[in-house]
Amino acid sequence: MKYQDFRRQYLAGGLRRADLMRSPFDQFQAWLDQAISSEIRDPTAMVLSTIDSTGKPSQRIVLMKDFSKKGFIFFTNYGSAKGNAITSNSEVSLLFPWTELDRQVIISGRAEKLSRSESEKYFNSRPRESRLVALFSDQSRTVVDRDTMVKGVDALDQKHPGDDIPFPENWGGYRVNSSRMEFWQGGENRLHDRFLYSLDIDHIWNIERLQP
C-alpha cells in the first residue's frame, strides 16, 4: 500500500471574501451551526496545542464548552500536562477539524483561567460520574492498571452518595482569548480558500486571503 496515493478532491464548496462576516466570531458561529446541522461527529471537538517549559509541543483533543467574543472555553485538570504547559506558556492554538465539510478553523491566542465560580457552575452541571472521575483523577500521572482507577472512583462514589460532590481544587476552565482566526475551505485541485482574521493594535479585526 502506498500512502502517498491516498488523496481526494475537495468539492464541498468554495469560500469567497464576500461570503465572510465582519466578525470572526459570527463567522465561527455560522460554520459551527452548519457543522452541527450536518450531524458530523463531535462538532465541538478541538485540537489544543501547547508548548511546555522545555519547549516541547503537545497536542490533544478537548471539547469546547462555550464561546463568545471573550474567547473559547474548555475545562481540565490544572495539574495535567496541558495545565502545566499553559502555566509555563499561555500562548496556545486550537484547531477545529471539520473534515466532513472540507473545513478547518485555526485559532491562536492566550489561555487564561476562568474564575472559580464559573468553573464550579459548570462542574455542578456535569453528570455525577464525570464529577467523580474529575475528583479522583490525578490527570496525566502514571497508574498501575485500570482496576486501580475503577476502585478509586467507586470509593468516592460510596463516600459521596448524594449529589453534593466536592469541587476539585485542581480542576477548572480556561478561556482562550483569540488574536488570530483562520478559516480554511478545501478547494478543487488543492486550490484551497484560506482567510485570516487578525486583531490589530486598535482591536479591529483585519481580514486577509492566504495562499493555499
131 is an active site residue? no
Phi and psi, residue 151, nearest 5°:
-65, -40
User: How far is it, in rounded angstroms, from Cα 48 to Cα 93?
Assistant: 6
- The SS3 of residue 100 is helix
Place of cell 482566526: 181
User: How far is it, in rounded angstroms, from Cα 17 to Cα 21?
Assistant: 9
144: Cβ–Cβ under 8 A, 6 or more apart, which residues? Answer: none
Q: 103, 190, 194, 209: which one is catalytic?
A: 190
Structural contact between residues 178 and 112, judged by C-beta atoms closer than 8 angstroms? no
Tell me, rounded to whole angstroms, the distance of Cα 141 from its chain centroid. Answer: 22
Which positions are catalytic? 190
